[in-house]
């Protein structure tokens, strides 16, 4: 411990000294120079020239300059001692370059809009280094990491953590070869100790879990099921030919002793990300309204069958979101291509849906629903195992509960009328919620808390009603008896699929229930609870429900009524989605898997829900009004920025973007397309070379014939080259 403290103090002293030296150097450079001010007269439009400029805050730039912006090769010095030398494109750090921190740490490699993005090498002040692939400041792809304590990792990374196949070598001679997830050994792998002992088999969260074999150098082995829980441990000792007797050996010693010295080194954190140092230049972002989405023809939605209105999950308005910010700073993948001016957006004046308060015709139904959910989720149950018996999926596996107004032994008194509550396959859905990392308490608060649900103003095309939780996390949809049967029929395959493929794009289902009202009506209301794909701190500027069909696939709203809460359709789409290579490959694999599942279950109707956030749309003013992005003057307009919460998170944790995954918060480019005037039903328009940087969200919803759907999806989602 004393050695570690001494090492840490030495590092801190080194950093402080280097920062002081860097600041002194920067001050001496600035005070010794007499150069042109940034606001002086510029050369003619389009002319590239060499300049030396002191910026208003005291920063200094020397290099190529065009139209009032750094463009070409140049060096930028910040007053805090940070420095960048390399390529610029229209005022943004772009291409190959080198960023230096005051501590002495450096990154040399590819940049996109100030983000470390592409191939590059980071060398830390403590001796840490990483050489490999980056996406949005995060290690992503193949890479080699050397840690300051002497450890070493070579293999695959995802959003800043080891994930995929990789080898980790400890300084004490121990090494692990195998699969990783979220920075921990997970999946199949083999660990070998310096004394020749080894374990090969299944791992979970950094420990042996499941089938595996421990071997000794003499050839003897212990084969069985491994777990930190002694009750789950079960195995057999197999002696070698030279062994004469069974040793007195407890397999739990692997957990208590052998793995003690196999901790994954956390590595060095960057003091500040290069993208957070990006200068904001006057006049950037001016443009016209060329990027505005254009509706090509009129028509009405014509779809039916199971879950035929689930696209309305994406129709939730962001409402009174506190911040219209970007989470992590804007990523622009410009290179030498054209940049489109940002579309103009009509802002919804209020949250979508009507709050269900007392006097509403469905007020009692909402109370019944909330009482039932609270009872189902809060009811004590056995410890959840992901290995479910087939009986749990039996359609007859359901639980009825009576809710008299005066209360009962198992239910509380309430102000609603007498009703009965049914849970379908309760153990399966309870396990699904665990599989989807849904906390039971948070789930109940979202649905059954003090805030009322919101009902969409009109039922969907199938006659279903939709209810939104106040926090927008969950969508509750009323469904018909036939739809319940379909969902129960496919439940075993659905469960196995989402368990096997955590990046599945298929809609997440959290519960299936029924309320039976008493009295003369004897009415039954069945409903399913689903996740809301577009519940995010990003403002969703455009949302689409895509089927790969042209028949009736355009929005019936006039142009003037389209706002960010409008769900657009195939013939309204005028973009191609360009995904980074690793994302594109994974996307193609997962769409095929998901479509195979739905085909296997004879679900012949599904679609892709897509929402995206333009990364450079200006933030709202204090009044809540959004600054226009059309022909207005942008010089005094506030640039996109992080909320304080997001800012603090990124300052403290550079890999704070780890929530990025397939279909969730994905950075991408979209390219504007234009349909031929003579072909109004053309599904995919012609590329224009005009690009926008976006954050993407998407999910497969049971709706559309597979082959046509796949062909269409793989035309509009392409690899970003």
Chain segment 479-499, per-residue pLDDT in tens: 889 889 989 999 999 999 999
What's the pLDDT at 35?
43
Q: Which range of residues forms the domain containing residue 506?
A: 375-532
Same domain, yes or no, for 554 and 525? no
CB 152 within 8 A of CB 146: yes
Final residue of a structural domain among 84, 118, 150:
150
Give domain status of residue 610, yes or no: yes
Give domain status of residue 299, yes or no: no
Q: What is the CATH number of the domain that holds 600?
A: 3.30.810.10
CB 690 within 8 A of CB 193: no
Say which range, 4-8, 58-62, 115-119, 290-294, has the weakest mean pLDDT: 290-294
Residue 529 banded pLDDT, cuts 50, 70, 90: very high
CA distance 655 to 557: 41
> CB atoms < 10 A from the CB of 396, how many?
8
CA distance 403 to 371: 9
- Judge whether residue 75 has pLDDT over 90: yes
What's the pLDDT at 493?
93
Same domain, yes or no, for 701 and 560? yes
Q: Could you write out the three-class secondary structure of 278-294?
A: CCCCCCCCCCCCCCCCC
CA distance 254 to 207: 9
Inter-helix orientation angle 706-716/581-600, to 10°: 170
CA angle (225 as vertex; 220, 229 as ends), nearest 5: 115
Pair of tokens at residue 312: 């309305």
What's the pLDDT at 677?
74
Give domain status of residue 458, yes or no: yes
Give domain status of residue 701, yes or no: yes
> CB atoms < 10 A from the CB of 300, how many?
11
Say which range, 351-360, 405-414, 581-590, has the weakest mean pLDDT: 351-360
What's the pLDDT at 690?
85
Final residue of a structural domain among 516, 532, 548:
532
CB 294 within 8 A of CB 343: no
Average pLDDT of the segment spanning 453-457: 76
Same domain, yes or no, for 557 and 682? yes
Mean pLDDT, the chain, integer: 76
Give domain status of residue 319, yes or no: no
pLDDT digits (tens, 9 = 90+) for 134-155: 988 889 889 999 999 999 999 9
Final residue of a structural domain among 150, 167, 192:
150
Give domain status of residue 259, yes or no: no
CA distance 479 to 186: 39
Residue 20 banded pLDDT, cuts 50, 70, 90: low
What's the pLDDT at 43?
53
Residue 178 banded pLDDT, cuts 50, 70, 90: very high
- Judge whether residue 172 has pLDDT over 80: yes
CA distance 199 to 202: 9
CB 425 within 8 A of CB 415: no
Same domain, yes or no, for 594 and 450? no
What's the pLDDT at 643?
34
Average pLDDT of the segment spanning 491-513: 92
Average pLDDT of the segment spanning 346-371: 76
pTM value > 0.85: no
Pair of tokens at residue 641: 């920025």
390 or 703, which is more confident? 390
- Judge whether residue 345 has pLDDT over 90: no
Q: Which residues contact 346 (CB under 8 A, 6 or more apart)?
A: 562, 563, 564
Average pLDDT of the segment spanning 30-36: 42
Q: What would the DSSP string read from start to end of 45-112?
A: TT-EEEEEEE-TTS-EEEEEEETTEEEEEEEEE-TTS-EEEEEEETTEEEEEEEEE-TTS-EEEEEEE
Give domain status of residue 269, yes or no: no
Average pLDDT of the segment spanning 468-478: 87
CA distance 350 to 517: 33
pLDDT digits (tens, 9 = 90+) for 89-114: 888 898 999 999 998 999 999 998 88
Same domain, yes or no, for 506 and 546? no
Pairing of strands 717-719, 575-579: parallel
What's the pLDDT at 169?
95
What's the pLDDT at 647?
36
User: pLDDT above 90 covers what percent of the chain?
Assistant: 22
CA neighbor of 186 nearest in space, from 209, 167, 168: 209
Same domain, yes or no, for 505 and 587? no
Same domain, yes or no, for 480 and 612? no
> CB atoms < 10 A from the CB of 649, how many?
16
- Judge whether residue 373 has pLDDT over 70: yes
Considering its fold, how many domains does the chain have in total? 3
CB 447 within 8 A of CB 373: yes
Pair of tokens at residue 253: 């010693």
Same domain, yes or no, for 569 and 673? yes
Same domain, yes or no, for 512 and 594? no
Same domain, yes or no, for 605 and 700? yes
- Judge whether residue 331 has pLDDT over 60: no
518 or 376, which is more confident? 376
CA distance 374 to 423: 12
521-550 b/e (C-beta count within 10 Å ≥ 16 → b):
eeeebbbbbbbbbbbbbbbbbbbbbbbbbb
CA distance 498 to 531: 14
CB 191 within 8 A of CB 176: yes
pLDDT digits (tens, 9 = 90+) for 604-656: 666 788 888 887 643 333 333 332 233 333 333 333 333 333 333 333 333 33
Per the document, the length of the chain is 721
Pair of tokens at residue 603: 């679900």
The DSSP code for 121 is: E
Q: What is the CATH number of the domain that holds 139?
A: 3.90.930.1
What's the pLDDT at 641?
34
Same domain, yes or no, for 79 and 125? yes
Q: Which residues contact 521 (CB under 8 A, 6 or more apart)?
A: none
Same domain, yes or no, for 557 and 412? no
CA distance 392 to 496: 13
Give domain status of residue 355, yes or no: no
């Amino acid at each position: 411990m004393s050695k570690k403290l001494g090492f840490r103090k030495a590092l801190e002293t080194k950093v402080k000294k280097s920062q002081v030296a860097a600041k002194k150097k920067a001050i001496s450079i600035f005070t010794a120079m007499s150069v042109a001010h940034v606001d002086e007269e510029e050369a003619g439009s389009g002319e590239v020239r060499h300049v030396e400029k002191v910026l208003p805050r005291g920063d200094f730039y020397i290099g190529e300059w065009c139209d009032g912006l750094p463009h070409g090769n140049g060096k930028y010095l910040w007053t805090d001692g940070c420095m960048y030398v390399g390529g610029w494109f229209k005022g943004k750090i772009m291409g190959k370059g080198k960023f230096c921190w005051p501590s002495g740490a450096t990154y040399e490699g590819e940049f996109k809009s100030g983000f470390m993005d592409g191939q590059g090498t980071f060398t830390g002040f403590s001796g840490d280094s990483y050489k490999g692939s980056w996406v949005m400041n995060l290690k992503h792809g193949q890479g080699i990491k050397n840690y300051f304590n002497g450890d070493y990792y070579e293999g695959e990374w995802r959003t800043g953590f080891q994930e995929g196949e990789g080898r980790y070598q400890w300084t004490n001679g121990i090494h692990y070869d195998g699969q990783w997830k979220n920075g921990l050994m997970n999946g199949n792998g083999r660990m070998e100790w310096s004394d020749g002992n080894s374990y090969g088999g299944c791992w979970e969260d950094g420990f042996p879990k499941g089938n595996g074999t421990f071997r000794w150098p003499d050839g003897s082995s212990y084969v069985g099921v491994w777990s930190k829980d002694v009750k789950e441990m079960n195995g057999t000792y197999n002696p070698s030919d030279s062994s004469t007797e069974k040793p007195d050996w407890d397999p739990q010693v692997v957990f208590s002793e052998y793995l003690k010295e196999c901790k994954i080194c956390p590595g060095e954190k960057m003091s500040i990300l290069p993208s957070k140092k990006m200068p904001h230049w006057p006049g950037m972002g001016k443009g016209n309204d060329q990027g505005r989405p254009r509706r090509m023809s009129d028509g009405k939605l014509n779809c039916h069958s199971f879950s035929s209105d689930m696209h309305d999950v994406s129709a939730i308005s962001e409402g009174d979101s506190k911040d219209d910010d970007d989470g992590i700073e804007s990523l622009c993948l410009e290179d030498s291509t054209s940049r489109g001016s940002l579309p103009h957006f009509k802002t919804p004046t209020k949250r979508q849906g009507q709050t269900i308060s007392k006097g509403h015709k469905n007020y009692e139904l909402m109370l019944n629903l909330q009482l039932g959910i609270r009872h189902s989720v809060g009811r004590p149950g056995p410890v959840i195992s992901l290995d479910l018996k087939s009986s749990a999926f039996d359609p007859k596996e359901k639980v009825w509960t009576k809710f008299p107004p005066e209360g009962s032994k198992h239910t509380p008194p309430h102000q609603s009328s007498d009703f009965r509550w049914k849970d379908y396959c309760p153990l399966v859905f309870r396990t699904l919620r665990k599989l989807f990392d849904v906390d039971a308490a948070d789930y109940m608060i979202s649905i059954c808390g003090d805030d009322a649900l919101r009902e969409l103003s009109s039922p969907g095309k199938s006659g279903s009603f939709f209810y939104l939780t106040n926090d927008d996390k969950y969508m509750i949809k009323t469904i018909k008896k036939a739809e319940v049967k379909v969902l129960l029929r496919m439940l075993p395959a659905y469960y196995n699929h989402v368990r096997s493929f955590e990046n599945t794009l298929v809609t997440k289902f959290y519960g299936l229930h029924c309320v039976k009202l008493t009295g003369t009506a004897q009415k039954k209301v069945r409903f399913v609870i689903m996740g809301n794909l577009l519940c995010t701190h990003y403002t969703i500027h455009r949302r689409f429900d895509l089927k790969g069909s042209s028949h009736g696939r355009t929005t019936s709203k006039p142009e003037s009524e389209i706002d960010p809460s409008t769900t657009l359709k195939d013939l309204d789409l005028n973009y191609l989605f360009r995904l980074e290579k690793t994302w594109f490959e994974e996307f193609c694999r997962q769409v095929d898997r998901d479509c195979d599942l739905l085909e296997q279950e004879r679900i012949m109707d599904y679609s892709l829900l897509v929402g995206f956030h333009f990364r450079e749309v200006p933030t709202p003013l204090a009044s809540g009004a959004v600054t226009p992005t059309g022909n207005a003057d942008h010089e005094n307009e506030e640039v996109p920025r992080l909320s304080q919460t997001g800012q603090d998170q990124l300052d403290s944790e550079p890999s704070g973007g780890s929530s990025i995954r397939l279909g969730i918060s994905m950075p991408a480019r979209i390219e504007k397309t234009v349909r031929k005037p003579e072909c109004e039903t053309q599904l995919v328009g012609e590329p224009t070379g005009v690009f926008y940087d976006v954050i993407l969200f998407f999910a497969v919803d049971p709706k559309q014939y597979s082959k046509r759907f796949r062909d269409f999806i793989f035309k509009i989602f392409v690899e970003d080259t």
